[in-house]
Chains A and B, each alone.
Chain A
Amino acid sequence: MPAGFPPHSTTASLPQHSDRGFPFAAAAAAAAGQAPPRPRPAAAMQFMLLFSRQGKLRLQKWYVPLSDKEKKKITRELVQTVLARKPKMCSFLEWRDLKIVYKRYASLYFCCAIEDQDNELITLEIIHRYVELLDKYFGSVCELDIIFNFEKAYFILDEFLLGGEVQETSKKNVLKAIEQADLLQEEAETPRSVLEEIGLT
């Protein structure tokens, strides 16, 4: 790789959190003014987790490469941290060197990890849009829908976000895409011999 390009670690793991102590004026001064260039190339959104109030995982979408072990550790710690939050607390928290944006909808927690320079408020909108899409698709979505149709939850997410970035801002377009794919699937599952009978293979 030519020099000058920040190397991408192929064994990237989320860096350990060095004590996020009390910055004081000095550190605030350092952070003021120009934002430093992005230190490492990662997606705006690092991962999204959905989990129940009992801490049961319902969906996990990872946009950074991590080992299964690391994913489990992060999931366990983060779920604990978020579940410990009181209801009146704000939706943002600092965890390791990431910003966590979470929101509870009924019995499900939607939890995203974003980078330091990302906009927390728009992330809340991302979460909300995803919930709206699920709601439209399932018709008044509840946790059970996501449990029994988890693959659908993934498919819908994959039409809304791609590589950790928003790909489609029109609700209509996302739902249309899912519909078409579902239709294709239905057709694909029609028994082969029937197709043969009709004259299609």
Chain B
Amino acid sequence: MLNRKGRRWGADACVVGFSGGGVGAEFGDPLRERMVVPSLKLQDLIEEIRGAKTQAQEREVIQKECAHIRASFRDGDPVHRHRQLAKLLYVHMLGYPAHFGQMECLKLIASSRFTDKRVGYLGAMLLLDERHDAHLLITNSIKNDLSQGIQPVQGLALCTLSTMGSAEMCRDLAPEVEKLLLQPSPYVRKKAILTAVHMIRKVPELSSVFLPPCAQLLHERHHGILLGTITLITELCERSPAALRHFRKVVPQLVHILRTLVTMGYSTEHSISGVSDPFLQVQILRLLRILGRNHEESSETMNDLLAQVATNTDTSRNAGNAVLFETVLTIMDIRSAAGLRVLAVNILGRFLLNSDRNIRYVALTSLLRLVQSDHSAVQRHRPTVVECLRETDASLSRRALELSLALVNSSNVRAMMQELQAFLESCPPDLRADCASGILLAAERFAPTKRWHIDTILHVLTTAGTHVRDDAVANLTQLIGGAQELHAYSVRRLYNALAEDISQQPLVQVAAWCIGEYGDLLLAGNCEEIEPLQVDEEEVLALLEKVLQSHMSLPATRGYALTALMKLSTRLCGDNKAAILEKMPLVERDGPQADEEAKESKEAAQLSEAAPVPTEPQASQLLDLLDLLDGASGDVQHPPPLDPSPGGALIHLLDLPCVPPPPAPIPDLKVFEREGVQLNLSFIRPPENPALLLITVTATNFSEGDVTHFICQAAVPKSLQLQLQAPSGNTVPARGGLPITQLFRILNPNKAPLRLKLRLTYDHFHQSVQEIFEVNNLPVESWQ
């Protein structure tokens, strides 16, 4: 026995090491005596290269050796040519250029020595390809070797031809290969058959040459020949419908071959783990698939056999599973009986439970391909599929996710969503976006109730908000908007979610929108579906303001928050925060202001109308009011009619910028108290308009009895202009009920000292109350 292992390459006794000595001339070979350049043995070169400590060193060694090799090629040394080329092939594998060896391949192939041919053909496969014109030059050598060479040489030629043979070469050499198909030696025939496969791939017309021999070849018993033949027939059928029709007639024969294989039992030569020649079985099954596809008769012929293979194949090792897998693919692709299809899907279901990860992988991939066509069969394995979501290998969990989403339907949607949402929380980041969209899509299609739908979307937004698609926000707002009965529920849940986390932009946007729309429901406090929560306006506004100012908020998010704040300012009333009220005039332009003008002119008209009728107690009392003021400031005058273009005064208001910070707040003033009823004044001097003073009058009631029919009237000195807005109401409920507020606008361009007289009338404890008084201790900042 030859010792293959170890560092021998041929029995060449000529060589000494690279650095050393002379050339041995042991056999007196004249050729050898001529040689001066000692050449390294292949293994010695390999050792030297591996000994290099750095990349640079390696490069140096190799470049030096390549120089020698080139020289050797130039000198045309035939004896060591094979060794030189072998070394060149080695450095080529390391990534170094070796093109100068191409012609040497030709020479070696043309040599009569087997060693030369062996290396030469290897070189041709590694260095030559159809891009190089040089490749055609070996055609002749191949032709010679095919027709005259000994079997191993024919083998080398066929191998090379099937690896790198170009279309031109194939055309040229087809006749030679055809002859070899029918040679007695199976060694050559099996190679010739596969070479024919390659030739057809390159030159499809050659099908006509290689089709006829197939029928006879199919009767061979040599596994290699059979395998090659079946591969050849497969190739022919895939290329030509005519060939496909032609070969349908061999289906019974193929069935017979496969059946023999399966029932044959153990054969040491061809069995793997108790499965007879799985390579051949798989190839036959593949051909059967192509022949049975769309063909009732053929499918029927193979039906029983497929069932037999499916049930009898040993599944304890990969070889058996490989055959089983191919069987399943065939069953699903041909016109098989329904029962057989279910059997196939069940095999895949069993694969899902296999401890071998690879088997689970092919199962998931196949089930995904079948989930549309065989939905109910695949549904039966849903629990197992869902288990696969927990796979640690991402390529498996990805497939499990795809398959799970495809299996969601209206009857399993609740359970499936639970699993998928759990998966969403822990899945790898690159699957998040797909999982989130998948859940949202499935929810849209199969949501059992609107509330469930909202809950599901909310959960996705909280868990994976950053991975959600842009239209999710619009979809959710539309969904909530359309579900009137769930407005309170939605706004409550979204408020809670927002309060916990303002970083997830889609969630924040939806929550902001919802709070803006349904803030009143939020503040109302009760919602039957979740626990009552006491939220007050300040909290809500503070939260929205936080969103507005957070650096995490995108511009779009800020937009949502701002809009919500604006909406809330109209929807929330009775707020005594002057800041909120201040924003209102800025937003309300012509329309609402016209209303205010109308109201004010009505008020002023009432006053002026009342004035010239002294008999009316009201009017006289008003005059009293004015008289008192006259004493202090001079002329008595009716309260001046409203400026015909009240827009003038209001225009000043329009000039106000957004929330200018007041220079220093003017302290509030309590001006009246009687039996638990209080009146408070608060002052604002907008910095941009020094002539303007805004007074908010607030009436509160801490007594045990309600205050009703409350009216407050005011008068100022004639050099000032006074405009009264409509009060927020006429009633102040007992025990700290909602106060009444009213806004006075006073224009004082001359900075005249402010004096203010108030007249209050209301019912309290079943009595009419009337109070007239001048406000004392008005702060100077209110008019200076």
Could you tell me which A residues sit within 8 Å of B by CB distance?
Answer: 1-2, 5-6, 8, 10-11, 22-25, 28-29, 31-35, 37-38, 41-43, 56-60, 62-63, 65-67, 72, 88-94, 119-122, 124-126, 129, 137-139, 145, 147-152, 154-155, 158-159, 162-163, 165-173, 177, 179-194
Contact = CB atoms under 8 A, between A and B. Distances in A.
A91 B318 CA distance: 13
B272 interface: yes
Contact of B278 (A89, A125, A137): A125
B36 to A, nearest CB: 20
B683 interface: no
A24 B238 contact: no
From B86, B159, B166, name the one whose CB has the most chain A CB atoms within 10 angstroms. B159
A194 B27 contact: yes
B89 interface: yes
Top 9 nearest A-B pairs (CB, nearest first) are A121-B322, A163-B162, A5-B204, A41-B201, A29-B372, A163-B198, A122-B322, A162-B194, A188-B114
B656 interface: no
Classify chain B's interface size: 35 or more
A8 B167 contact: yes
A127 B434 CA distance: 35
B373 interface: yes
Contact of A184 (B50, B114, B238, B294): B114
A147 B227 CA distance: 32
Contacts of A152: 4
Nearest to B113: A188
B362 interface: yes
Contacts of B131: 11, 65, 67
> What DSSP secondary structure best describes chain B's contact surface?
helix
17 contacts: A6-B204, A8-B204, A23-B402, A25-B406, A28-B372, A32-B373, A60-B93, A65-B164, A88-B357, A122-B278, A163-B195, A163-B197, A168-B224, A169-B270, A173-B187, A185-B10, A191-B29
Contacts of A22: 402, 434
Interface stretch (B342-350, B388-396, B662-670, B692-700): B388-396
B146 to A, nearest CB: 14
B115 A121 contact: no
Nearest to B10: A189
Interface stretch (B363-371, B531-539, B574-582, B599-607): B363-371
Contacts, number: 240
B252 to A, nearest CB: 23
B108 interface: no
A28 B368 contact: yes
A166 B46 contact: no
A51 B153 CA distance: 29
B358 A124 contact: yes
Interface string B278-291: 11101100100000
Contacts of A124: 318, 322, 358
Interface in B147-163: 152, 155, 158-159, 162-163
Nearest to B272: A125
A149 B4 contact: yes
A109 B318 CA distance: 19
A66 B113 CA distance: 30
B148 to A, nearest CB: 16
B744 interface: no
B295 interface: no
Contacts of B362: 92, 120-121
Nearest to B119: A151
A183 B5 CA distance: 14
B319 interface: yes
